[in-house]
Amino acid sequence: MSYESMLIEKRDIIKSILCQHYNLPRDRSEVRVSRRNILGFAGENKQYSLYVSALGHKYKIFAKVSDKAGHEYDNLRFLEMNSSLEYVYFPRPVGFINIGKEQLLLLEHIDGFQNLSKILCRMFFRRSDRIEKIVNINKLVLRTIHDVHRNIGQIQIGSLGYEGARALDVVRTIRAIPAPMREKVTKQLYLAIKNAPKVRRGVTHGDLGARNILLSPDRVILVDWEKMQKRGFLCVDSCMFISYLVMRCLQLCIRERRVQDISDRLYRDLSNTKFAFSATGKLQDNEKVIRLAKCFAEIEVLSGYEKRTIRSVFKNIVLLRNRQIKYLVNSIIRDVDSAE
Ligand SMILES: Nc1ncnc2c1ncn2[C@@H]1O[C@H](COP(=O)(O)OP(=O)(O)O)[C@@H](O)[C@H]1O
Ligand SMILES: [Mg+2]
């Protein structure tokens, strides 16, 4: 059965949830479902817009089917309970229901925003001032990520136990780093982790790719909270975001030197923010923590690319995958060199 017919079958439950959320009379409300068409995705569409209307009011809902939607709903409820109402950094959860083996997540629809991926794609054709624009837009994103870290949940002090062990495990499997070099990188990384200062932990998003960042001219909202952690290594969240962004810039055929410039400027912004990533907050400790987090993020992104090998030669060329891998390998080697 298709998702669409399952949605129609569940229309009554969906209606109850929406009417309760928006305080509408059930017997006089109407629910309508329409499919969201997303270019570039193959297979069955898993995202829908729902509309509920009554008494002259009409509300739009964003709905998506996934096997982790229930988990994402719990995460969003946690965010809602642990942040004050004035901070709107995430879509408000409306509800979720089981649909076949998966779940349907219902969220308040965010209007007037565009995802960062689309905004960056449009810059492909604007060569003159795009570096400045990219840096400025993404400084705003970085600031929002700090605000989320600062304002939601509690900040705690912790060691690099989990992330350190994972980075060491993963870096050993990366084929793009030549074997003798891999050994050296692993050793240096091990030392850097062993001598690392204590870090600050708290609520992290965990998947800050460009598609999960929605922008209006002056505000940022983060979506897709499936991988949220309550005690994540805060700095990795910002570094993951910069790494994914840098990968996008390479796809936009921006010259490597310029991409490096964008990356350097955003990392400088990260160092200059008043937010301390290390437990002591000392400048030197902060720098160390940022360098390690950068390295962890790049290892994670690179390993993701290697795991999801794209068979189609055409897609590889379009995505400039080799260019991205080369950039990450060089960057990891450099980071590890300076991390100790
Ligand atoms: N609440 C929302 N309102 C409007 N658009 C949304 C909302 N949540 C997500 N989107 C849009 O849908 C896209 C995919 O949503 P996301 O939650 O990231 O799903 P996926 O798990 O498939 O990545 C996002 O890039 C964003 O453009
Ligand atoms: Mg997403």
Ligand 1 pocket: which of 37, 65, 103, 223 to mutate (most atoms <8 Å of CB)?
223
> How is residue 285 written in tokens?
């400790």
Distance CA 9, CA 14 (A): 10
Distance CA 313, CA 319 (A): 10
Q: Is the pLDDT of residue 40 over 60?
A: no
DSSP secondary structure of 58-118: EEEEEEEEETTHHHHHHHHHHHHHTS-TT---SPPEEEEEEETTEEEEEEEPP-S-EEHHH
What mean pLDDT do residues 130-137 have? 92
What mean pLDDT do residues 58-65 have? 93
H or E stretch covering 107: strand 102-108
Q: Is the pLDDT of residue 168 over 60?
A: yes
Atom number, ligand 1, closest to the C-alpha of residue 46: 22
- Position with higher pLDDT, 91 vs 2: 91
Q: Where in the chain is the domain with CATH 3.30.200.20?
A: 3-108
- The ligand placed nearest to the CA atom of residue 71 is 1
The share of the chain scoring above pLDDT 90, in percent, equals 69
Q: How confident is the model at residue 147 (pLDDT cuts 50, 70, 90)?
A: very high
The class (CATH top level) of 3-108 is alpha beta
Encode pLDDT of 191-227 as tens digits. Answer: 999 999 999 999 999 999 999 999 998 899 999 999 9
Query: Which pLDDT score, from 0 to 100, does residue 127 have?
Result: 74
Of all protein residues, the one whose alpha carbon is nearest to atom 5 of ligand 1 is 110
Instruction: Give the distance (Å) from ligand 2 centre to CA of residue 68.
Output: 12
Atom number, ligand 1, closest to the C-alpha of residue 115: 27
Q: How confident is the model at residue 43 (pLDDT cuts 50, 70, 90)?
A: low
Instruction: Give the distance (Å) from ligand 2 centre to CA of residue 211.
Output: 6
Instruction: Give the distance (Å) from ligand 1 centre to CA of residue 147.
Output: 21
Of all protein residues, the one whose alpha carbon is nearest to atom 21 of ligand 1 is 224
Q: Is the pLDDT of residue 164 over 60?
A: yes
> How is residue 41 written in tokens?
């995705």
Residues with CB under 6 A from ligand 1: 47, 62, 64, 66, 91, 107, 109-110, 115, 211-212, 214, 223-224
The class (CATH top level) of 114-339 is alpha beta
Residues whose CB is less than 8 angstroms from the CB of residue 336 and which lie 6 or more positions away in sequence, other chains included: 185, 188, 189, 192, 295
Q: Where in the chain is the domain with CATH 3.90.1200.10?
A: 114-339
Instruction: Give the distance (Å) from ligand 1 centre to CA of residue 94.
Output: 15
Ligand 1 pocket: which of 34, 64, 248 to mutate (most atoms <8 Å of CB)?
64
Encode pLDDT of 298-333 as tens digits. Answer: 999 999 998 876 667 666 676 688 899 999 999 999
Query: Which pLDDT score, from 0 to 100, does residue 80 have?
Result: 93
Instruction: Give the distance (Å) from ligand 1 centre to CA of residue 12.
Output: 24
Of all protein residues, the one whose alpha carbon is nearest to atom 8 of ligand 1 is 223
> Average pLDDT of the chain?
90
Instruction: Give the distance (Å) from ligand 2 centre to CA of residue 257.
Output: 29
Q: Residue for token digits 């995505």?
A: 319
- Predicted TM-score of the model (pTM): 0.93
